[in-house]
Amino acid sequence: MGPLQGLKVIEMAGIGPGPFCAMLLADMGAEVWRVERREGPPGSRRDVMGRGRRSIALDLKNPAATRAVLRLVERADALIEGFRPGVMERLGLGPDVCLARNPKLAYGRMTGWGQTGPLAPLAGHDINYIAITGALDAIGTKDTPVAPLNLVGDFGGGGMLLAMGLMAAMLHAQRTGQGQVIDAAMSDGAAQLMAPIYGMKGNGRWQAPRGGNMLDGGAPYYGVYRCGCGGFLAVGPLEPQFFAEFLRRLQLPEGEFADRLKPELWPALQARFAAVFLTRTRDEWAAIFEGSDACVAPVLTMDEAPAHAHNQARGTFFEREGITQPAPAPRFSATPSEPGHPARLRGEDSRAILEETGFTATEIAELLEG
């Protein structure tokens, strides 16, 4: 099932955004073979990002294993790798070698800093990649930036960017027969995610320090408020008609907030709303705002989110192996995606994959037992 049915992808096993990209492609129907090193822990079927792929484990220091991967590459539409620059070349699996074997291959490279530039050879993590783009500085309280989990660099700016790049390259290869290398850097992707904020800055609508702008918690009508129970509400009625509905549900007079767009008044208006929200629990407020265009939602925990009525109606989450996890997205009308089988253990499909690719019994024995 899924719109990518018929496409074959080789995933060089790694961590974070690479596996996330492979999960997205597998969710959409691509056949993904995960190439893992023979040594290491066995893996777990409860690995959410490992779902939907099969696993082949090889000793990549063995030249025979390198040749085996190249034979897999010959049949693939795309390859995903997330090592530091130069590692795949040292393994004998760099883009020049792979594209020589398969000129239509989309060769996806996932790194934090990219393949070029002074930081390219250095280690880093999500928080470092987003730090140099302006994204980290823009997120947080007035006093300090706050790391937005590792969603902006690793997954939004990394895995999703690589998935889009691979799809574009595979489409180009289908049209022209020409493969290419996709250099996906998490720092580049995080910068792209900041495009609307840089646009606002360039147009004079993002001028104050962090915590003083419309979308960073500075505006009283776009932020998070504590309720009487200790829970929180997410409040976002930016447009006039939504703000009017927001005030109506709070039973507050519109005249009191006629100058809501003036930043100098925002602290006082925030204090006013904060005092009101403390008078009821989160769930009481959620009931008051339910069914309205006031743009208010309860801030749910990860335990609560799957049970929310909207998430239930859309099947946004499902449970497998005792693990609640997000369902495939987006939704396709003609070729619906389905979550693939649970994650395979390391090398669970080695023999089957090699047999399907045409390896002889002797070759298989050399690769798996030698």
CB of 17 within 8 A of CB of 49? Answer: no
The 232-235 sheet, strands edge to edge? 223-226, 232-235, 296-298
In the numeric block, the tokens 């595979």 are attached to 170
Chain centre distance of CA 245: 34
Phi/psi at 354 (nearest 5 deg)?
-65, -40
Structure tokens at 241: 């008609």
Q: How far apart are CA 364 and CA 129, in angstroms?
A: 41
Phi/psi at 101 (nearest 5 deg)?
-75, -35
Q: How far apart are CA 205 and CA 208, in angstroms?
A: 9
Q: Among this protein's residues, is 125 annotated catalytic?
A: yes
**Given 125, 293, 308, 349, the catalytic residue:** 125
Residues 306, 308, 312: CA angle, nearest 5 degrees: 70
In the numeric block, the tokens 């006093």 are attached to 143
Chain centre distance of CA 225: 27
**Given 27, 77, 126, 154, the catalytic residue:** 154
CB of 269 within 8 A of CB of 237? Answer: no
Residues labelled catalytic? 125, 154
